[in-house]
Amino acid sequence: ILVMCDTYTPAGEPLPTNTRYSCAKVQEAAKDQEPWFGLEQEYFLTNLKTGRPLGFPDEGEPEPQKWYYCGIGAKYIFGRDIVEAHWRACIYAGISISGINGEVACGQWEFQVGPVIGVSQGDQMWMARYILERIAEMKGVGVDYSAKPVKGDWNGSGCHSNFSTAAMRAPGGYEGAIIPALERLALKHELLIKNYGDNSERLTGKHETASIDKFTWGAADRGASCRVGHDTVKEGCGYLEDRRPSGDVDSYVVTKLLTSTCCEIPLE
């Protein structure tokens, strides 16, 4: 049995590290707006002896980025046994894991959790990370969620965060709710960047990222801060994707801030 717990002081106050507490309050305040989340967790599997991603030689670098994304074959894919064991374990544990795939860089992977409602998204993402760490531990492999673990011409790791409310998903939601939410996110760009992890080396405007200094959004634009899918634009309703959070972001923090900003819930 796996148990997720809140943490409190002997006096009953939430510990400073208990980010779930404030997230739950925001989600409760927004529950009538029905916030849904889908988080895309990127990470690297690493060789514990060298500290480098699986597939990297002890010295030098493997082939450049091209064949690793959704790739096949032992020449390009490393750690699939761990990734698929993690997927199966998450299903067994009741986590709403909705996909896995090889990512752009060598030794880099992604799993997706969602759609999940409210604070449960944070719960499920933290538990999914825990399960991944345990499985990698049994294989003697490390897990690195940090934003830019490999310097140079390699993608970093993000936690792209997909978000919608009932109004966004309803007919007319694109112009009536999604665009206004994007405008609110633009106004809070500095606050959000401060809470989205250390992205100074990841959000450069390269490797499918936007610049850390400026908020942008666009349809099907991987180089934007926030992206809206073509289907959402075409159908006039759907969801938005915040591409700024780093791979090691706290899922309670990112879901709290997305909900607070888009749903106009004041933070205490």
pLDDT in tens, the chain (268 residues): 899 999 999 999 999 999 999 999 999 999 999 999 999 999 999 999 999 999 999 889 999 999 999 999 999 999 999 999 999 999 999 999 999 999 999 999 999 999 999 999 999 999 999 999 999 999 999 999 999 999 999 999 999 999 999 999 999 999 999 999 999 999 999 999 999 999 999 999 999 999 999 999 999 999 999 999 999 999 999 999 999 999 999 999 999 999 999 999 999 8
Look up residue 113 and give its amino acid: V
Count other C-beta atoms under 10 Å from residue 228's C-beta: 21
Helices (H), 40-164: 80-93, 120-138
Closest among 247, 48, 251, 51 to 155, alpha carbons compared: 247
Closest among 46, 77, 56 to 144, alpha carbons compared: 46
**Distance separating alpha carbons of residues 250 and 126, to the nearest angstrom:** 8
Residue 137 pairs in a beta bridge with none
Question: What does pTM read for this prediction?
Answer: 0.96
Look up residue 222 and give its amino acid: R
The beta strand positions in the chain, using DSSP E, are 36-47, 97-102, 108-117, 141-144, 159-164, 217-219, 226-228, 240-242
> Which run of H or E residues covers position 182?
helix 179-187
Choose which CATH entry (3.30.590.10, 1.10.3720.10, 2.60.40.10, 3.90.1150.10) describes domain 20-263.
3.30.590.10
Using only C-alpha atoms, what is the Rg of the chain?
19
Please tell me whether residue 145 adopts helix, strand or coil conformation. coil
Asked whether 245 and 258 are in contact (CB, 8 A), the reply is no
What's the pLDDT at 268? 81
Asked whether 196 and 245 are in contact (CB, 8 A), the reply is yes
**Distance separating alpha carbons of residues 76 and 163, to the nearest angstrom:** 32
60: left (phi over 0), alpha (psi -120 to 50) or beta: left
Q: Which two tokens stand for residue 239?
A: 């969801």
Closest among 72, 207, 230, 49 to 140, alpha carbons compared: 49
**Distance separating alpha carbons of residues 146 and 160, to the nearest angstrom:** 14
